[in-house]
Amino acid sequence: MSAMYDGLRVMFVEDDPAVRAATAQTLDLAGFEVEQHASAESALKNLKEYFPGVLLVDFQLTGMNGIALLERAVTIDRSLPVIIVTGHGDISIAVKAMHAGAYDFLEKPVSNDLLVGVVTRAMEKRRLTFEVSDLRGASSRRLASIVCLSVTLWPWSRCATASSSYPMSRRTS
């Protein structure tokens, strides 16, 4: 599994050291690289646009809670999959998390299989997001090179720019 997600990691935010260690170990054994944080504030310092991975966040954190972190995270990177985990779940919190852009919402205790499955699907979504972005970039660069080639070879063509020495108004048919 880890070869498929090379370069991608799970940013895991949990303020309970024992839960953080156990969950990180579960994810590590499943083949994921895990970056651990004890607070939302610590995670935010390391979260940049195009973060290479997914965000796994406990809802009930000391300081900024998981929903507030989710809201900040999606302003930094709107395509970042954010999974909220809570032991204090109710329907209103789940709805708020999903409206804020959560990828998924899990209630503690979470089975290892469920956790690994959700993280795997979120990681696959992130990998595909990057792949599509790369393909769009390559396609745009290819199109730009074709347009530039057209302008170079056919300055009187439709691809000519306004600064061309062959203005559109002087074309002969």
pLDDT, tens digit (0-9, with 9 covering 90-100), for 69-111: 999 999 999 999 999 999 887 889 999 999 999 999 999 999 9
Q: How many CB atoms lie within 10 A of CB 21?
A: 12
Same structural domain for residues 156 and 127? no
Q: Quick one: average pLDDT of 136-156? A: 58
Q: Is 136 among the domain residues?
A: no
Same structural domain for residues 80 and 163? no
Same structural domain for residues 90 and 123? yes
Same structural domain for residues 68 and 116? yes
170 is written with which tokens?
A: 């002087």
Same structural domain for residues 159 and 82? no
Same structural domain for residues 15 and 73? yes
Domain that includes residue 148, residue range: 141-170
Same structural domain for residues 106 and 145? no
Q: What is the tens place of the pLDDT at every residue in 12-26?
A: 999 999 999 999 999
The count of domains in the chain is: 2
CA dihedral 114, 83, 86, 44 (to 10 degrees): 140
Contact 31, 48 (CB under 8 A): no
Same structural domain for residues 121 and 146? no
Same structural domain for residues 61 and 15? yes
Same structural domain for residues 156 and 109? no
Q: Is 99 among the domain residues?
A: yes
Q: Is 1 among the domain residues?
A: no
Q: Is 84 among the domain residues?
A: yes
Sheet holding 33-37, edge to edge: 33-37, 9-13, 53-58, 82-86, 104-107
Same structural domain for residues 103 and 156? no
Looking up residue 103, the CATH number of its domain turns out to be 3.40.50.2300
Q: Which residue has the higher pLDDT, 151 or 53?
A: 53
Same structural domain for residues 17 and 97? yes
